[in-house]
Amino acid sequence: MVKISVITAVYNRVGTVAGAVMSVRRQSYAAVEHVVVDGASSDGTAALLNSMADERAHDMQFLSEPDGGIYDALNKGFALSSGEVIGLMHSDDFFADDYVLEHVMDAFKDPSVDAVYGDLDYVDKDDSSRVVRHWQSGPFHRSRLSWGWMPPHPALFLRRRVIEQWGGYDTSYRIAADYDAILRYFSKEGFRAAYIPRVLVKMRVGGESNRSIGKILLKSGEDYRALKKSGVGGLGVLACKNLVKIGQFF
């Protein structure tokens, strides 16, 4: 059975990280490795995760040490992982149901598929049953990148070979290293991505990129830099990327 490694980067999320871990443990797919990288939390997160790692030491790796932010932590998680397929589980998020990884690994049965992705629901941070925003990805075609399209990062799974060939997260980005990586991978000639038309992940609102006007401006600047670096486009693509989000609220 092909192993999938799920990577979680966490810092001071004692109230939600146990739910993220249990969401991974409840998956019906058997060959799952969970790599959790904590940035030396000070709120009890590390102690909680240590106790959870002791419960299931055979399928959970846990590292706690200072890091350079979420993308540095995710790169560390990748280096620690051993799965042929890599996915993420952010510390505030959870899988939409217990069969998500079964569906993902079914799609990876085609050896030519480089990536698998699905849809994402943003949910109220206090009432996870209330959907605030629905991100329906749709099928991938390279031309869609020029219209601001991207798959939801938390609902994206990659072959290990993709990261090994084209690199992990560029930590010079503070907020948009995920978009930079997606452009770097998906813009490659012959890159194959399979779309699963169902919600794979539920994300609690209040992410790093939309907490303030300053963060939004920083993200826009970093998105523009990633677009120019990849050769996909510039200000027009950035405008499309932001406009397409409006429909996700209805």
Q: What is the 3-state secondary structure (H, E, C) of 3-51?
A: CEEEEEEECCCCCCHHHHHHHHHCCCCCCEEEEEEECCCCCCHHHHHHH
Q: What local confidence, expressed as pLDDT, does residue 238 receive?
A: 81
Q: Where along the chain do its domains lie?
A: 1-91, 97-151+169-250
pLDDT at 175 over 50: yes
> Could you tell me where the DSSP H helices lie in 93-212?
100-107, 160-166, 177-186
Residue 165 DSSP symbol: H
Query: Structure pTM?
Result: 0.93
Question: In this structure, are residues 180 and 213 in contact, taking their beta carbons and an 8 Å threshold?
Answer: no
Averaged over 230-248, what is the pLDDT? Answer: 81
User: Could you give the 3-state DSSP secondary structure of residue 177?
Assistant: helix
Residue 167 DSSP symbol: -
What is the per-residue pLDDT across 61-104, written as a single tens digit (0 to 9) for each?
A: 999 999 999 999 999 999 999 999 999 999 999 999 999 999 99
What is the per-residue pLDDT across 114-162, written as a single tens digit (0 to 9) for each?
A: 999 999 999 999 999 999 999 999 999 999 999 999 999 999 999 999 9
Domain 1-91 falls under CATH 3.90.550.10: yes
> 209 φ, ψ to 5°?
-80, -10
Q: What local confidence, expressed as pLDDT, does residue 211 receive?
A: 57
pLDDT at 235 over 60: yes
